[in-house]
Structure 1
């Protein structure tokens, strides 16, 4: 008997400070000793108070009955053949709260004939994490699907089922091929096999258009991101599937519009130039036939007006061509510095000496990669407009640069008459002039906006600005979004 007592004392000492619960029980499930970790699980402050109570009292009835059956089988087996047994369970605490746990029945060294050790693991953190994951999985407005190493669908959320037109129960257990167009299936198997050997979170189909197969047989343009799910059982892999149908349609519509605009502009310029040149030649010949000596001053003035208007019409055709080309993104990029861009724009904008120019780039002076020409041209156009539409011999212009998120913001502010209320958007339209008394065809701001938009930026105006006139802001992207890179 002393051997048994000594053996149990050693077991108690080893388990006293274990981070998981431990209980020594006999074949009837009576507790002879419990450590503080187990007492905490059931809400008892003093582990000694648990002595001589039944461990099954803290368990649900079904789990308690299963444990008693296992104890009988455990003690009916020879000591050398006893193996651990594990089962998830739920404990009911003193305060009535339920505590998820996991029990493992193991032999008790030194007291094989009378006692066994019940190891108890508190699963509350794991259960909470699983609940949070389940809530995110079910409520995320993106399609989520989990597959195993055999590419069988293990789990999916309602968003993915709706995307592909299936009921969830129809897809669970089926092959992933169900959601793939036939032409992709063989290649996709190779890609997934390669991913399982090197499971690093990444996007699928970089540089390629991916589609999924709807239940009705139509294909859906999608984006897919893959990641591995860490589980204690078999390896699982989760895909995040995004329907990009609307975005694709928008991109295609924009591309078609740009192509049609460019085609129309080239055709119109060709068809308009020929008759204009014919008219110019006819006017020149009539003038030569009449001779300057025989024409009255009024007739000569009218001939000059006709020639001027022909020149203006040809200039409008050239401006239309420039506007169409402004929709093409410049792929040649370099490291640009805001300070250099502002200096270059000021040197080319021909700002009169009578104008005061203040430059503030302290907060946005860091360099970034961008196409230099369209950005420099946009700045030059805005600075030139600030002078052109000022209306006075003297004026003030303030140029600022700051960083705002993924954009560098260039501000051109002046103390001129500003933009009349209601015209803030109209000034960016073709052939609309901000100041009727100035020269030009009203294409500069339309050209500038089209060029900025083509490179992923935007331009806005507010009036009055800080100086009382118009304040234009260019938001130029320091980092391009993926859809811009894919163009």
Structure 2
């Protein structure tokens, strides 16, 4: 018996033997150290001296329930347990229960482990996970979410309470939900750190149902004889947007280089040839031909000048930086009537405005002016000669969140088969001899992107309307 007593006392775990009445019959040295009592101070006392106040009232019922079905088990699985030291300090503990029959009486052997350091380590771990700049999500070997940091909540639009305890498949696109548990099982069977889905695009499912492009890294973690998987999640929406923008700019630059080279080189070669003809005609004193060719050179020069002007405007559209200021549509309509006075009178086109916005509009004035100038000048230039009263109308109104601008005309309209090309580079839809570079609507699109506005249009043989939408600050 003394050998068993020695083993009991030398155990590195706090041990208490309690009878059916919750009286402590035995307490080993580590129990005394843990609770700051000597073993003699514990023996013969009721167990509730080691319990927090809030649990004392319910404890007799819990003892009765256990004695009715005494089996070896951990106590309080799934909730935090605390013991109370002699000085009243609460300490987090893990308790194991084991029933013992002796001389017809039932005793319970309790092992008590101080988990203060473990909880401290868990707290540090959770704090590090929460502070991570990328999404961090931990699942158990059954694919149930155990932990989700703030960034994960931000990426997928859920609160932590909506994620923890749920299967990871709630964040997986519908088409992968069914096979995904097999992927989890396969990974847990061979858990190695690795990137997920190498060589293919990965998407997570936002609470709203939209897909979020992500990069995912997997890291196995082992605790309590279980395998957990920590996933690092990076939302690459912005990166993909930038990559697409770079690709779009690259494609634009190729087209721009080719078309600019062609549109500059061809007129310059023609001007050179016409100059040779003019020199020859001057030697032959053929002034009539000289005059005709000089006029052609002049037209080509105007065309080149317009092209260069639009190229410079396009360049500025990408790099121009300007503070927002109040835009006055009343002032703009006066300016535009003065600016295009000659062509307005020549084509007999009316410029009208209806400005019913109830809120101030703060915007980069130069950009918006370029947009409206291009739309208005196009409407004036391409008016319908068969119309008795050609017009260009600028209508402005707002709702609580947005301001709307409509530039409407009753001109020739844009052919339906060309609608998908309207905002393309170097696109023209009129075969007349009206001067133009084909960059005007493309410049409008660029400026609208910089203004974070939405641009659309409707067009038919009776006229065209461009719709501009901007968020109000």
TM-score normalised by length of structure 1: 0.47
TM-score normalised by length of structure 2: 0.49
